[in-house]
Amino acid sequence: MNGTADMLKEDTDFFSPNGKTVLLVEDDGTIAEEIAAELTARGFKVLHEATGDAGLEAALRLEADVMVVDRLLPGLDGLSVIETMRQQGIRLPVLVLSALSAVDDRVTGLKAGGDDYLTKPFAIEELVARIEALLRRPDDTRSTKLHLGPIDMDLIERRVWRDGREIELLPREFRLLEYLMRRPGQVLTRSMLLEDVWQYRFIPRTNLVDVHIGKLRRKIDGPGEEPLIESIRGTGFRLRVPD
């Protein structure tokens, strides 16, 4: 695959038809080719670099929309690339690829400034889904903590509190609440939740969303507390913005 110099022979060739460019930093040529082929087929422009130093240079010089970076790279490792980007104010969303799958490794990747973490081996469909989810995120996702009314969420430690009362959530419930908190007051359809929280590429006939919303309500709304999640008849759900 070509490096930065070949990719930028003409500035007009840099952007993809859908306006989205992926900066891929991966030293395994086979994996890089598979990822690039799939993303290109979906209309993305892919800029590939095989070392951390070249990837960092490209991230600082170019206006890509999302970065996919391997954690272990020749030269600068992936986490050092991310940390340097963040120190220089680059807010580019980053998906970290790694063969290290322990929880501590994932936490380290997120603390370095990564936005998502995918362990190898992975299904190419999941990688694409995660990239698309990063591109749909609002601009405030660099914060590691969320606050909305009585609810506080720590994205690194994966903990949630309501008025100081800690709430134990399962991983899917945590992702569902995070999605709601990032979109307060917005009506969110079941299709949106299935696509963005469950990463479904099709919409099955299921009450999966309703079941999880019900479980989440029972956990975040204690006795005598004001309900926070509203049902919008025939449409979906909305997280209330407290007065």
Alpha helices (H) in 68-207, listed in sequence order: 78-87, 103-111, 124-136, 171-181, 190-196
Q: Tell me, what's the pLDDT at 82?
A: 92
Domain-wise residue ranges, the chain:
19-133, 143-237
| Residues of the chain under the 70 pLDDT cut | 1-19, 101-103, 138-143, 201-204, 243
Name the CATH code of domain 19-133 (choices 3.50.50.60, 3.40.50.80, 3.40.190.10, 3.40.50.2300).
3.40.50.2300
- Cα(81)–Cα(229) distance, rounded to whole angstroms? 39
Closest alpha carbon to 2 in 34, 35, 41, 33:
33
Report the pLDDT value the prediction gives residue 112, as an integer from 0 to 100.
Answer: 83
Count CB atoms within 10 A of the CB of residue 228.
23
The pLDDT, as a whole number, for residue 243 is 66
* Confidence at residue 121, expressed as pLDDT on a 0 to 100 scale: 87
Distances (CA, A) of 99 to 45, 69, 105: 26, 12, 10
Global pTM? 0.54
The two structure tokens encoding residue 160: 């949630």
pLDDT of residue 31: 95
pLDDT, residue 109, reads 80
User: In this structure, what token pair is assigned to residue 128?
Assistant: 């694409």
pLDDT value at residue 199: 77
Looking at the structure, give the CATH architecture of the domain made up of residues 143-237. Orthogonal Bundle (1.10)
Structure letter (DSSP) for residue 183: S
